[in-house]
């Protein structure tokens, strides 16, 4: 697993193996960040189910001014910290050790970009998107990208959160939503 573009491009990330872990592929990352290339510079990003921090570090590499990463799995939290150290990342990557649903209920700040990669085997993309649509993290024009299992279908809209694209990548889908 590696960072594919920006100032950290080509550098390897620390990761770990587990049966329920499906790292975001380079193709999926490229699709996400090609869409964000003209809007990510200097913007804050929210990374839900951050895992190893791969998407968070990719966002920083591509010019995000900060990333708030939410993760509750102890092994993942340890790997995120290792990656922060490896890439010499400081306060621009803040890690919240908390359940994503709890974070969404408590959050008061909005973000222009939200990246979501829920645990592949849990099939909770619909639940996450519904909670996100009810939270305060979305503002007019917020771009949301979520990965989900190909066996799980996601709705075209959750309130004002409307799907703009839904693309297959083998055993997973990448859905792009915009709020407002």
Chain segment 29-64, per-residue pLDDT in tens: 999 999 999 999 999 999 999 999 999 999 999 999
Question: What are the sequence ranges of the domains in the chain?
Answer: 34-137
Q: What percent of the chain has pLDDT over 70?
A: 97
pLDDT at position 135 over 90: yes
What pLDDT is stored for residue 21 in this prediction?
A: 63
Whole-number average pLDDT of the chain: 95
Where does the pLDDT of residue 91 fall: very low under 50, low under 70, confident under 90, or very high at 90 and above? Answer: very high
User: Quick one: average pLDDT of 1-15?
Assistant: 95
Where does the pLDDT of residue 96 fall: very low under 50, low under 70, confident under 90, or very high at 90 and above? Answer: very high
pLDDT at position 106 over 70: yes
What pLDDT is stored for residue 114 in this prediction?
A: 99
User: CATH code for 34-137?
Assistant: 3.40.50.150
What is the bridge-based pairing of β-strands 161-169 and 172-179? antiparallel
Whether 112 and 139 have beta carbons less than 8 Å apart is answered as: yes
Q: Which residue in 85, 33, 94 sits closest to 61, CA to CA? A: 33
What pLDDT is stored for residue 178 in this prediction?
A: 98
User: Quick one: average pLDDT of 106-129?
Assistant: 94
Q: What are the Cα distances from residue 116, in Å, to 10, 85, 95?
A: 23, 23, 15
Q: What are the Cα distances from residue 39, in Å, to 18, 43, 86, 114, 142?
A: 34, 8, 27, 12, 11
User: Quick one: average pLDDT of 89-104?
Assistant: 98
- The whole-model pTM stands at 0.95
Instruction: Please measure the distance between the N-terminal and C-terminal CA atoms of the chain and give it in whole angstroms.
Output: 34
DSSP state, 60?
H
């Amino acid at each position: 697993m590696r960072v594919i573009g920006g100032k950290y491009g080509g550098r390897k990330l620390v990761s770990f193996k587990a049966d329920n872990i499906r790292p975001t592929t380079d193709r999926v990352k490229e699709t996400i960040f090609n869409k964000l290339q003209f809007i990510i510079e200097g913007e804050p990003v929210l990374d839900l189910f951050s895992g190893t921090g791969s998407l968070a570090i990719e966002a920083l590499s591509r010019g995000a001014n900060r990333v708030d990463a939410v993760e509750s799995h102890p092994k993942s939290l340890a790997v995120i910290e290792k990656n922060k150290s490896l890439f010499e990342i400081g306060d621009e990557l803040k890690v919240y050790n908390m359940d994503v649903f709890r974070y969404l209920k408590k959050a008061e700040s909005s973000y222009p970009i939200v990246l979501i990669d829920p645990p592949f085997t849990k099939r909770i993309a619909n639940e996450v998107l519904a909670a996100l649509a009810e939270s305060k993290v979305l503002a007019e024009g917020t771009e949301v990208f979520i990965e989900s299992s190909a066996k799980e279908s996601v709705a075209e809209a959750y309130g004002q959160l409307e799907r703009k694209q839904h693309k297959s990548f083998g055993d997973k889908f990448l859905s792009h939503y915009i709020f407002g």
